[in-house]
Structure 1
Amino acid sequence: MESSTVQSQLVDVQNFLENTVSTLEVFLNETTMHELTQEKQGDETYYKGLLSTIRRLLVNSEYCLEECQIILQKNNFNKEIAEKTLYRIFHGCIEEFFTPRSDVWYEDSRSAYTGAHAIRFQKDAPDSVDRLLKSLEGNFQRMREELDYYENDYRTKMMQSN
């Protein structure tokens, strides 16, 4: 892939991450455990897990955004580093959104066929959390489709180097 294409992709990812970070920060700055339990009675331990996973997603997104900014600010654009970064963003941010390590939510693979939202919660979740994830899902899905190339390309390069 050409350097200009990779650079353009990195700019697109940077914009996506800026929007994601902003949305997550607003939610986390304005939401408390008390509000979640007032919104919907449920398992407090599960609610804490939801907030913890959202915080993790925010931290991952901030870290990935910072990586994009550093690469794009350099005078000499390094295509190889940018491609590795896009690969890390695919795994550390995009895939983490759809299948978080905490398993408080998961991706319903059948949603691609039904047109429904892909995120399903393990237990009942407050509506505000559901709205947040639904508001982010479309852009995460778009980024996943755009960055899937780097996932496949990186694996191919790794196999060829062995």
Structure 2
Amino acid sequence: MGNKLLENQLQDVKSFLGQTVTDLEGFLNSTTIKGLEAEELTGTAEYYKRVLSTIRKLTVFCEEGLEACQVIDKAKPFSKAAAERTLYSIYNHCIEEFFSPKSDVWYEDSRSAYTGKNSIKFRENVPLSIKELIRSVEGDFQRIREELEYYETDYRTKMLHSK
């Protein structure tokens, strides 16, 4: 992959991560468990805590990815190897955590891609504000996932051949 194409992709991912961090932080900074409980009558505070914890982890992963992109972007000359490693890491930490969080509070319904509906499904009832947040970022996560899938397979192949 050419350096210019890789630089453009890094810029796109950096922009995506910056906006995602802004959206997630804005939500987290204005949300409380009591506020969520007031919003939804059928959910549990324990589940809301787990969902918020997952959103916090996702925010941290995205912040770390953003910082890595910024460092690579400023470095002269541009390091193709560092950029590829970073995009691979972003795919594995940010994108995978969004679609399949380790906490298992939500999951991706892959059949939804065929219906044009959102693919993230919650294990329990959640307030509308959480549903709206996840819906608002899901499209960009899907777009970036499609762009970065190349690094998932390419980087692993390179690592296997280098051993």
The gaps in structure 1 that reach 5 residues or longer are none
Within 5 A, what are the aligned runs for 1:51-62?
51-62=52-63
**Pairwise CA distance, 1:92:** 0.4
Q: What per-residue deviation string (whole Å, max 9, x for no partner) do you get for residues 47-102 of structure 1?
A: 00011000111111101000000010112110001000000000100111000000
Unaligned runs of at least 5 residues, structure 2: none
Q: How many residues align?
A: 162
1:159 shift after superposition: 2.2
The equivalent residue for 1:75 is 76
- The one-letter code of the counterpart of 1:13 is V
Take 2:5 and 2:152, find their aligned partners in 1: how far apart are those partners?
16
Q: Show the counterpart of 2:27.
A: 27
Instruction: Give the 4+ runs in structure 1 shifted more than 2 A.
Output: none
Question: What amino acid maps onto 1:31 in structure 2?
Answer: T
Give the C-alpha shift of residue 114 in structure 1: 1.3
The TM-score, its normalising length taken from structure 2, stands at 0.97
The two structures, once aligned, show a CA RMSD in angstroms of 0.7
Amino acid of the structure 1 residue aligned with 2:34: H
Q: Look up the equivalent residue of 2:21 and give its one-letter code.
A: V
Q: Equivalents in 1 of 2:30, 2:160: separation in Å?
A: 46
CA shift for structure 1 position 43: 1.0
Aligned partners of 2:44 and 2:27: how far apart in 1?
20
Q: What is the aligned partner in structure 1 of residue 157 from structure 2?
A: 156
